[in-house]
Structure 1
Amino acid sequence: MSKSTAWKFGIFVVAWLCWTSLSFGAQGAITDPVEVTALLAIKRSLIDPNKILGNWNRGDPCTSSWIGVVCLEDGYLHVQQLLLLKMGLSGSLSPELGKLLYLEIMDFMWNSISGSIPMEIGNITNLKLLLLNGNKLTGTLPEELGYLPNLERIHIHQNNISGPIPVSFVNLNKTKYFYMNNNSISGQIPPELSRLSSLVHFLLDNNNLSGYLPPQFSELPSLVILQLDNNDFGGTTIPASYSRMSKLRKLSLRNCNLQGKIPALSLIPNLGYLDLSLNLLNGTIDGQRLSEAITSIFTGTIPVSFSNLPRLQILSIANNSLNGSIPSTIWQDRALNGNGRLTVELQNNKLSNITGDTNLPPYDTVWLQGNPLCSNTNLVSFCGSESDAENKNQGPTNNTSDCQLQCPPPYEPSPRSPKAVH
């Protein structure tokens, strides 16, 4: 073979090897067929009136940019994120979701999906975020969800989920955020959940919970928000151990049929939002260490200690059975109002008098409509006009300017794969 021929043959071999490599590489860069079949089953179970998932029947899910599909490459391409939030979808969740074994984020938030949560989701051991809130889901919480070892968030709030909290949830050691409020979840809160050392937010307000508040929750080392309003704990008490929740910033137990003495909650160093209203509690709160916003309830008279709250911005004790006099030192003591403004809501009680100076500081607001003292026409600045009364008598303000006390940290998908498709 001449040198010229050998050189040409060598070029041909190199070219063929390059083409073969690219060809086999292209063939390898396809989505796992099991996952493709699962995605098609998921689509069939959904109703998509806006045809947003119209490209789910063309090409490969990962290489053809299927809407809402984010992939990673591991030999095959695998579905890592399924982002179908706010797409106007209805229908149901397919059990085939459980075949997306590489899935880390499942996001169906704010659609109109009905039916139950498939127990097969418990097969997705890589799952970190389960985001199903704002749908019409029914049925019970599958026990299998408690065996997701990497789950960090479970957002199922604002659905119609019923039944108890599975005891298997005690295994969710990495879960930080439980958002299960606004459902019909019933039964006792499992005390065993106190073993979840990563738990930061625990929201189960507006459900049908019963039983008692687990004293063991004081052992949760990272808990920042405990929100259980509008459940029925059957006349039980607030555990005294809750005063040891060192990280707690928001405790909301409004309308929970709680009775007995209020524990020493002022020992919680960072507590900034407290709502114990519409219960049958008694006692006082030493408020020197409470910060930013307090909503609570008392029978009897208003404690003078409220004038010692240096960071108070909102004091709401409306719609209760307070009687006697109101000490004006609550709003006159300027050390109280270090943040510049104060709102005091005491409407719809049985208060008969204001002791001390009745000149209201210019940046403060005090509402006293619906109390006997408002028969005194000299207290217009406190009792307002009839139209003001109609607006304010609807109930106390439940608000705080510090969203950290109410809102979860923002969730923003961060695709780590160059195959990411939104």
Structure 2
Amino acid sequence: MRFSPTLWLCLCGVVFLLSSAYGLSEEVGILLQIKETLQGGGATDYLQDWSNASASSHFCNWQGVMCMSTSTSRNVISLALPSRNLPGYLSSVIGKLSWLEELDLSGNRLYGHVPLELGNCTHLKLLYLSFNFFSGVIPFSPGRLANLEVLRAGYNRFTGSLPPEIGNCAKLTFIDFPSSNLKGTNPLKIGKLKRLEHLYLYENHLNGFIPSSIGNCWALQLFSAYGNNLEGPIPREIGLLSRLQILWSYNNLLSGNLPNGLGNMSMLQTIDVSVNNLNGSVPEEIGTLKSLSFLNLSNNSLSGTVPAFLGNLTSLQVLDLSGNQFSGTLPAAIGYLEKLRELSLGRNRLEGQLLAPWENLTSLQVLDLRENQFSGNLTEGIGFLPNLRELYLRSNRLKGELPASLRNLTSLTRLDLRKNEFSGTLL
């Protein structure tokens, strides 16, 4: 029996239409199941256009849905429903959207576990789950998501630690898990993430050391792990992160000396390792960081003198060394930091006269020298700081007439001169 060309073309067309219709109906069914669980079975219809009443051929036009069309099918590649107030949970059928590249459910009220089946979405590149109520361990085997580039799941209620398999997601550039109730240690395999640029782990319950393998994350630009229970020294390998711009590790239990390798990080703009147990002196290499604008080493056990090389940090806007054990005199070089907005050296053991060329610090807004052993007269130069708003000199050994130039501080809102031996009046 022989088929005519016309009949053959007709049969091919029927097969194509049937296969396309099947594919469409399957995707529609998956999306409707996802809708049902995301809405939590309530009466409110948060996704009104996700409906059987819509022609199945148009499900790619449903809100938050984006498709990729081929000659034979349409596949969902993006499901973006941020800030829709969705009150339900994420169904395991999400794993059947095998072509999914982006999933954004951030800023909703979703609860329950993230389904393990999400690991079947092997094309996934962008995953946003932040600002929900997801709980349980992080079970979605991110190591199976080899194409994942951005993982944002902060501000949830997870338990347990970051899975070590995260090190297998070699394309990751962004990890964001702040305030997510994470416990345990940082995975050693994080050093395998050569493309990682941003790592946010702040305000969790992480403990243990910062792994030395972090030095292998050569692309890292921002490391934020403040508000945890991290302990031990800052690894010297951190000095290998030549692209790092922001280092936030304050409010932990870190100890030991500041690593000398910090001087290799020429792009550093912010260092905040305050409220730890660091000791020793400030390494001279810090004085080479020309891009540094924010340096906070407060509330540690650092000692030695306030180094004159800090005067080389010409971009510095905030310098906070308060609450340490620094001694000696205040170096005159501090007076040449013309961009400085805040200088906090309170609660140390500093002594001598305040002879720095204060008049150069025209941008200074906060000057805190309280609870030291400064002595002698207060220089007229302090009265020539046009933007000064707060001046704290309490509990020193200063004496003599208050300089008349203090009357020039018209922006001043807070002034504390108590527990000194001043005389005269500001009236």
How big is the shift at 1:142? 0.7
Distance 2:317 2:283 in 1: 18
Alignment of 1:315-330 (within 5 A): 315-327=343-355, 329=357
Name 2:243's counterpart in structure 1: 222
How big is the shift at 1:172? 1.1
| 1:194-218 CA-partner distances (Å, limit 9, x unpaired) | 0111111111111110111110111
Among candidates 271, 274, 283, match of residue 254 of structure 1: 274
| 1:305-345 CA-partner distances (Å, limit 9, x unpaired) | 2012233233233454544433352x312xx44xxx22233
Q: CA RMSD in A?
A: 3.8
For 2:366, the aligned partner's letter is V
Q: Is the 8 A contact 1:71 1:80 kept in 2?
A: no
Name 2:194's counterpart in structure 1: 173
Q: Is the 8 A contact 1:366 1:382 kept in 2?
A: no
1:287 aligns with 2:310: yes
Mean Cα deviation higher: 124-133 or 12-21:
12-21
How big is the shift at 1:83? 1.1
How big is the shift at 1:146? 1.2
Among candidates 237, 241, 245, match of residue 261 of structure 2: 241
Distance 2:333 2:408 in 1: 21
CA 1:31–1:118: 2 relative to 1, 3 Å: farther
CA 1:319–1:48: 2 relative to 1, 3 Å: farther
Q: Is the 8 A contact 1:368 1:382 kept in 2?
A: no
Name 1:123's counterpart in structure 2: 144
CA 1:25–1:37: 2 relative to 1, 3 Å: closer
Mean Cα deviation higher: 354-363 or 375-384:
375-384
CA 1:279–1:343: 2 relative to 1, 3 Å: same
How big is the shift at 1:260? 0.3
For 2:17, the aligned partner's letter is S
CA 1:241–1:32: 2 relative to 1, 3 Å: farther
CA 1:388–1:292: 2 relative to 1, 3 Å: same
Among candidates 128, 132, 135, match of residue 153 of structure 2: 132
Q: Is the 8 A contact 1:294 1:314 kept in 2?
A: yes
**Larger RCO of the pair (alpha carbons < 8 Å, separation 6+):** 1
Name 2:206's counterpart in structure 1: 185
Name 1:408's counterpart in structure 2: none
Contiguous gaps of at least 5 residues in structure 1: 1-8, 391-422
Among candidates 288, 296, 303, match of residue 320 of structure 2: 296
Distance 2:414 2:366 in 1: 15
Q: Is the 8 A contact 1:206 1:230 kept in 2?
A: yes
How big is the shift at 1:261? 1.0
Contiguous gaps of at least 5 residues in structure 2: 76-98, 417-427
1:356 aligns with 2:379: yes
Q: Is the 8 A contact 2:222 2:246 kept in 1?
A: yes
How big is the shift at 1:39? 9.2
Q: Is the 8 A contact 1:225 1:251 kept in 2?
A: yes
CA 1:44–1:348: 2 relative to 1, 3 Å: farther
Distance 1:243 1:83 in 2: 39
Q: Is the 8 A contact 1:324 1:353 kept in 2?
A: yes
Distance 1:145 1:135 in 2: 18
| 1:245-290 CA-partner distances (Å, limit 9, x unpaired) | 1221211111111000110101123222111111111232312331
Q: Is the 8 A contact 2:234 2:258 kept in 1?
A: yes
Name 2:366's counterpart in structure 1: 344
How big is the shift at 1:36? 7.1
3-state SS in 1 of match to 2:103? strand
Among candidates 59, 62, 66, match of residue 63 of structure 1: 59
- Equivalences, count: 373
For 1:362, the aligned partner's letter is P
1:27 aligns with 2:21: yes
CA 1:142–1:210: 2 relative to 1, 3 Å: same
Name 2:79's counterpart in structure 1: none
Q: Is the 8 A contact 1:328 1:356 kept in 2?
A: no
Distance 2:16 2:390 in 1: 75
For 1:310, the aligned partner's letter is E
Distance 1:88 1:316 in 2: 42
For 1:210, the aligned partner's letter is E
How big is the shift at 1:110? 1.8
Distance 1:305 1:54 in 2: 66
How big is the shift at 1:47? 5.5
For 2:368, the aligned partner's letter is L
Distance 2:158 2:167 in 1: 18
| 1:95-114 CA-partner distances (Å, limit 9, x unpaired) | 22212221111111222322
| 1:133-174 CA-partner distances (Å, limit 9, x unpaired) | 122222111111111121110000122101001111111111
For 2:271, the aligned partner's letter is L
Distance 1:382 1:237 in 2: 42
Q: Is the 8 A contact 1:275 1:294 kept in 2?
A: yes
Q: Is the 8 A contact 1:103 1:124 kept in 2?
A: yes
For 1:316, the aligned partner's letter is S
For 1:104, the aligned partner's letter is K
CA 1:41–1:16: 2 relative to 1, 3 Å: closer
